[in-house]
Amino acid sequence: MTSSDSGGRLGEEFFTPGTSSFTEFLAAHRPELLPTRRPFPEGVRAGADRFPHGTTVLALTYRDGVLIAGDRRATMGNLIAQRDLEKVHPADDHTAVAFAGSVGLALDMVKLYQVELAHFEKVEGIPMTLAAKANRLAGIIRQNLGQAMQGLAVVPLLAGYDPAAPEGGKGRIFGYDVAGGLYEKRGFHADGSGSPYARGALKKLFRAGMDRREAALAALQALYDAADDDSATGGPDIGRRIFPIVSVITEDGFERLPEEETEQLSREMVQARRSRPDGPNAAP
């Protein structure tokens, strides 16, 4: 992003006071670099089976904060495009974003959002509030509306730890629609093609005050139920040792559960399913 007529030196726009939003800076000076500003020509629509799509992601609050998880499968129509896709990413120290939808656009959108938060903190000297982070992501999604209407939709799920929230409500979850509509969710939420089945599982398994192990098992059970009824969602792949990504956000920050822990919990769950294929009953 250097000026072509200044011998490689930064252009005047880099030294002019302006917005603390990196996205707005790009929109003003180099809009072609925004991943959300590249719609197809008029009348052209993306084929649903031509681009990899990510599927089920979910989040739930627990005793120490909030947990966010996703399966690993990406599909192109009836084909499995990737078996080990990472759909859960840290946005900053106390926020994470997961996505369902067009993989290429989603990964670019996540990177843009990560830069957006870091840029704001460097310019302003303080991090955004969690509510502001949720609204900023809504604005980025809204910029993608043209491509979403042409078949390349991205539906993120945002989870974060809010130190300003009252005790017992510091873990917060935000869902979105393709037009950038923002909805705060209570307790748990899921997005993607397998989300109806994941939400159904979480309705019976979720309870306030779960510890980390209980919350992780509930998330894995919900993803297993989603994979059981939705062909685009991948369950634990014992043979290839590919397991869902499970991460937590607490007062101490973002932490991805170690692969060994996720594998152990997944194997424990699969073993229990041999005697109870439909999963555990709701707690009394």
Active-site positions read 55
Helix (H, G, I), strand (E, B) or coil at 53: strand
Residue 31 DSSP one-character state: G
Contacting residues for 281 by C-beta, under 8 A, at least 6 apart: 204
Report which of 216, 283, 266, 183 is spatially closest to residue 66, judged by C-alpha positions: 216
Alpha carbon separation from 240 to 237, 243, 255, 263 (Å, rounded): 6, 9, 24, 11
Measured between alpha carbons, how far is 33 from 262 in angstroms, rounded to an integer? Answer: 37
Q: Could you give the maximum distance between any two Cα atoms of the chain, in Å?
A: 71
Write out the DSSP string of 216-251: HHHHHHHHHHHHHH-TTS---BTTTTB--EEEEEET
90 bridge partner residues: 96
Contacting residues for 20 by C-beta, under 8 A, at least 6 apart: 119, 120, 123, 124
Q: How many residues does the chain have?
A: 284
Would you tell me how many other CB atoms lie within 10 Å of the CB of residue 83?
Answer: 13
* Amino acid present at 175: G
Residue in the structure block whose two tokens are 């084909």: 79
